[in-house]
Structure 1
Amino acid sequence: MKRCILPQETEPSDEALPATRNTFAVNRWRNGAAMAEIDHIAEEVPVALEYNGVSHAVMLATPADLEDFALGFSLSEGIVASPRDVYGIDVEIRPNGVAVKLEIATEAFVGLKARRRALAGRTGCGLCGTESLDEVMRVPAAVHSAASFEPALLDAAFAQLQARQALLRDTGATHAAGWLRADGTVALVREDVGRHNALDKLAGALANGNEDVSRGAVIVTSRASYEMVLKTATIGAGVLAAVSGPTALAVRLAESAGVTLAGFVRAGSFVAYAHSHRLKIS
């Protein structure tokens, strides 16, 4: 499905994608003293999503796992109903950013044009450019999930997630979204400077994989906003666990969509805001 196109180059090569991090000379102030150091900084680049040759969205994102990002964004935004509606994904390096070019089914493209939607997003901004309130307040189908987790598994899961955040360790500037299996294994991890982007990347990876979404959980290193709950419900996952708190709108959506929502997941504690029965605490 995926291919990377380089200017004046016939052979595809993922190696030409922009780096996910770069180095800068900095002055660090610590304990009353200044020190010159070299620091690693996370990159963010404009990523244009084009459907059947028409530009639809431009997001600032970390230039990694862009095929997952494009597929996950397409699914979570309702542009396509199924991965089968995406016939191909090409990644094209351009002088001012990266274009991810998707070929989608005619019916999906007709629906996309009818929505007349053109996003121009800042980092992690899932709603920038939405033209109407009706487009924002989408209601996902109710999630039917058999997921069930002991509280201790959440602690262990976030420890696994942190251990696999290579870009965060290098830069301190990225979020991550992970997929927690029923057996407590964190099977997939995706990182990005934007929390929505990280979750879209995870959604794309899940759509291309063989995970049992009815029995797993999404874990994220961010707050649980409305968009994060909406994307989790679109995946079909029954549990969203976040290290920070939710918004009131997110709690209401989790209640109506059947998503178990846990926030402030820290060592030995969390707060269950919706459908706590999947966390075996009541």
Structure 2
Amino acid sequence: MNGVSRFGGAETRRRFVLRYRSGEYRQEEDVIATEFALTLFVNGEEFSTLVCTPTYAEDLVYGFLASEGVIRDVDDVESIRVSLWTGTARVQTKSGAVLSPALYNKRYIGSCCGKGRQSFYFQSDALTARPVEDPVSLSADDVFRAMDLLDASSGLFEETGGVHVAALVREGQLVLARADIGRHNALDKIYGHCLRAGERLSGTAVAFSGRISSEVLLKVAKIGVGVVIARGAPTLLAVDLAEELNITAIGFVRGRAFNVYSHPWRLADAKKAQGAIEGA
């Protein structure tokens, strides 16, 4: 079980700030997102330090280890002990293998999409990111509904403005949402929950509060979800990876508009335009 943190397990703290409004300064109380360092040990050796929001810590650890390729499912874990008081998570895997963080953090260059473009990967990405075959179909209204559900679950962001939020949605319903100061952590918390709960991923999409970077796109692929819907824009590398990994990347969801950057065949009402984007 998670221990009590030095922050009492709180994801926010209150502090007095000097606020400037309407031409004058006032001292007022503000809500600030907690930033917490969780050092992860695997089989007795220090593996990584995750700077995170101190909630759903076990989900975060499971999701991070699966994303890094250290484990494939929960059965690979012999034991896990998280102490937010000491800021540590200790995991014993059934293999007991001693891991080299340098090996998992090593970058190499691969060919993207089989078209000669070069992409940078962590070694763990090549091991764990696979094309997503889910034939989930959405409408434009489903896209807007996904962002509405994300917004409705973004209480911590509304309070602090200092976190990222990720939500897993299916057929217009919220499956779960997680917030964290780290955008990768929010996705790892979703991944960890799905692993531990045996959550069915077919028919789901990930809604995300930020931009779609290559790291975010790879996290979505590792979770096994075929659609990512984001408030912000993607990077070019993220779009190339989305094409390669069979993921529909939707960005710039603002008002009643959005852009589809890859695999528009999952949008039932966009099939007429599919030829245009594929021929570009």
TM-score bracket relative to the smaller structure: 0.7 to 0.9
Tell me the SS of whatever aligns to 2:159: helix
Deviation at residue 14 of structure 1 after TM alignment: 7.8
Match of 1:89 among 70, 76, 80: 80
Counterpart of 2:169? 180
1:198-254 Cα distance to aligned partner (Å, 9 max, x none): 111111111122432121011110110111111111111111111101111111111
Distance in structure 1 (CA, Å) of the matches to 2:6 and 2:20:
36
1:35-68 Cα distance to aligned partner (Å, 9 max, x none): 2210000011111111122110112111111111
Aligned ranges 1:106-255 → 2 under 5 Å: 106=95, 109-110=97-98, 112-113=99-100, 116-117=102-103, 130-133=105-108, 136=122, 138-139=125-126, 140-181=129-170, 183-255=171-243
| Preserved CA contact (<8 Å) 1:17 1:63 | no
Deviation at residue 17 of structure 1 after TM alignment: 4.8
| Preserved CA contact (<8 Å) 1:56 1:117 | no
Change in CA separation of 1:16 and 1:31 when aligned onto 2, cut-off 3 Å = closer
| Preserved CA contact (<8 Å) 2:14 2:31 | yes
Tell me the SS of whatever aligns to 1:274: coil
Distance in structure 1 (CA, Å) of the matches to 2:173 and 2:192:
19
Deviation at residue 268 of structure 1 after TM alignment: 1.1
Aligned ranges 1:100-111 → 2 under 5 Å: 100-106=89-95, 109-110=97-98
Change in CA separation of 1:48 and 1:117 when aligned onto 2, cut-off 3 Å = farther
Change in CA separation of 1:34 and 1:264 when aligned onto 2, cut-off 3 Å = same
Number of residue pairs aligned between Structure 1 and Structure 2: 256
- The one-letter code sitting in structure 1 at the alignment partner of 2:41 is E
Structure 1: gaps of 5 or more residues: 6-12, 119-129
| Preserved CA contact (<8 Å) 2:41 2:88 | yes
- The one-letter code sitting in structure 2 at the alignment partner of 1:275 is H
Change in CA separation of 1:14 and 1:87 when aligned onto 2, cut-off 3 Å = farther
Deviation at residue 94 of structure 1 after TM alignment: 4.3
Structure 1 vs Structure 2 CA RMSD: 2.0
Deviation at residue 177 of structure 1 after TM alignment: 0.6
Counterpart of 1:66? 57
**Residue 21 (1) aligns with residue 12 (2):** yes
Match of 1:4 among 2, 5, 13: 2
Distance in structure 1 (CA, Å) of the matches to 2:230 and 2:251:
5
**Residue 256 (1) aligns with residue 247 (2):** no
1:81-130 Cα distance to aligned partner (Å, 9 max, x none): 222212322111345xx1111121216x35x33x6447xxxxxxxxxxx3
Sequence identity (%): 33
Counterpart of 1:124? none
| Deviates most, 138-147 or 242-251 | 138-147
- The one-letter code sitting in structure 2 at the alignment partner of 1:260 is T
Moved over 6 A (4+): none
- The one-letter code sitting in structure 1 at the alignment partner of 2:262 is A
Tell me the SS of whatever aligns to 1:180: strand
| Preserved CA contact (<8 Å) 1:25 1:36 | yes
With the length of structure 2 as denominator, give the TM-score of the two structures.
0.85
Counterpart of 2:48? 57
With the length of structure 1 as denominator, give the TM-score of the two structures.
0.84
- The one-letter code sitting in structure 2 at the alignment partner of 1:60 is V
Deviation at residue 165 of structure 1 after TM alignment: 1.6
1:145-194 Cα distance to aligned partner (Å, 9 max, x none): 0211111112122112112122112211111110011x210110000011
Tell me the SS of whatever aligns to 1:212: coil
| Preserved CA contact (<8 Å) 2:249 2:260 | yes
